Amino acid sequence: MAQRVALITGGAKGIGRGIALDLAAQQWSVAICYRTSETEATATAKAITGLGGRALSIRCDVSDPQAAKGLVAQVEQQWGGIDALINGAGPYHRVNLFDETVEGWKEMFDGNLHPIFYLAQAVAPGMKARKSGRIINFSMANADQMIAQPDVTAHYIAKAGVLILTRTLAKLLAPHGITVNAISPGFIDSGSAPPEELAAMTKRIPAGYIGTIDDTVG
């Protein structure tokens, strides 16, 4: 049986890296897309190949529709197709809505929402031809509840859009044997948050426990 292929945006570190390593352990070939995290992407790919797996690390700005299309074409040419697309990339910042800049607003949508549309359009033909495929998008906890979020408004709206886009893609692609789902994690300790932020978040969680990358991957 041919080895399955996954394309992961944001696969260089954090949750994306955890998913990449988990899929590689299950004998998937993994293409890791990064924009700026070259060192981390290279390290993740080396970790996979060091264990006997197949991995590529590819620099691509997936907020550019032509670049996103070229990324998919490169992976398909290298490995013959893409069985799973995992949209894990997405910038985040906290700023009051009235202090938000036009550039910051656009960054949230260009990083979190638009690439899912571009990449889904690019991978769909190949998946349809094989009558099989998986697309997994990352949203955020409570994104479907329309709660006012003054300090993360742009990010929150973009992630709500991810859910709407996911449902639409799922409806359109289901007849072709392709599933589309969204994961909406809460706060995840990826190792980058300062201790004081972790402590504050822990107090707000009823279970008294912050999720880890392993929790999300599992």
Question: In a 3-state reduction of DSSP, which class is residue 175?
Answer: helix
Q: Within a domain: residue 169?
A: yes
Q: Which stretches of the chain score pLDDT less than 70? A: 1, 186-193, 215-216, 218
Single out the catalytic residue among 34, 92, 156, 209. Answer: 156
Q: Residue 156 catalytic?
A: yes
User: Containing domain of residue 156, as a range?
Assistant: 5-186
110 belongs to a structural domain: yes
* SS3 at position 189: strand
Q: How far apart are CA 159 and CA 113, in angstroms?
A: 7
Residue 107's DSSP bridge partners are none
Provide the pLDDT for residue 122: 98
Strands 55-59 and 188-189: unpaired
Question: Which residue is listed with tokens 């769909």?
Answer: 124
Query: Which pLDDT belongs to residue 176?
Result: 98
Strands (E), 124-214: 133-138, 178-183, 188-189, 211-212
pLDDT at 193: 66
Q: How far apart are alpha carbons 127 and 119 in whole angstroms?
A: 12
Cα atoms found within 13 Å of the Cα of residue 87, Cβ hemisphere only? 38
In a domain, 91, yes or no: yes
Q: What distance in Å separates the CA atoms of residue 158 and residue 175, rounded to the nearest whole number?
A: 27
pLDDT for the residue numbered 91: 85
**Residue 192 pLDDT:** 61
Q: Judge whether 175 lies within some domain.
A: yes
CATH number at residue 47: 3.40.50.720
CA–CA gap between residue 181 and residue 165 (Å, rounded): 10
Q: Could you tell me which residues are beta bridge partners of residue 138?
A: 183
Placement of tokens 């040419």 in the chain: 77
pTM of the model: 0.90
Indicate whether 163 belongs to any domain. Answer: yes
Task: State how many domains the chain has.
Answer: 1
Which two structure tokens, joined as six digits, stand for 98?
């009235």
Q: Give the whole-angstrom CA distance, residue 147 versus residue 183.
A: 18
Q: For residue 210, is it within any domain?
A: no
- Amino acid identity at 121: Q
Which two three-digit tokens encode residue 208? 């008294």
Considering only the C-alpha atoms of the chain, give the largest distance between any 2 of them, rounded to a whole number of Å: 55
Amino acid 218: pLDDT: 62
pLDDT of residue 13: 86
Cα three-residue angle 143-91-58, rounded to 5 degrees: 125
Q: Is residue 208 part of a domain?
A: no
